[in-house]
Amino acid sequence: MDGSFFVYILASKRNGTLYVGVTNNLARRMLEHKGKLVSGFTRKYGVDLLVYFEAFDSILEARAREHSMKRWRRVWKIKLIEEFNPDWDDLTGKLNS
């Protein structure tokens, strides 16, 4: 995977609760989400399916994109997910391939 920083969207299920985050290590971050190792929104609401991600070369770009996406309407996020991942597959297993 190119880039050192990632903006990602997690879902609880298809069309379920959504979460937008940013990280410099997406594989490690997904282990934390799936293992319920970090208290907060994703653990409380069972949001741990990686349905979308983008890679960036700089943390500034990634944080700007995250900030923008967090302000998006839900319908825009769903459209983005469905264009990238129409079946809402959990992409976690594809991170190391």
CATH at residue 10 = 3.40.1440
State residue 97's pLDDT score. 54
- The CA distances from residue 63 to 20, 32, 34, 69, in Å, are 11, 20, 22, 10
Q: Are 68 and 9 in contact (CB under 8 A)?
A: no
- Residue 83: give the domain boundaries: 5-94
Number of folded domains that form the chain: 1
Q: Please write the tens of the pLDDT for every residue from 33-92.
A: 999 998 899 999 999 999 999 999 999 999 999 999 999 999 999 999 999 999 999 999
Residue 55 pairs in a beta bridge with: 6
Structure tokens at 92: 């976690």
Nearest-angstrom CA–CA distance, 46 and 17: 9
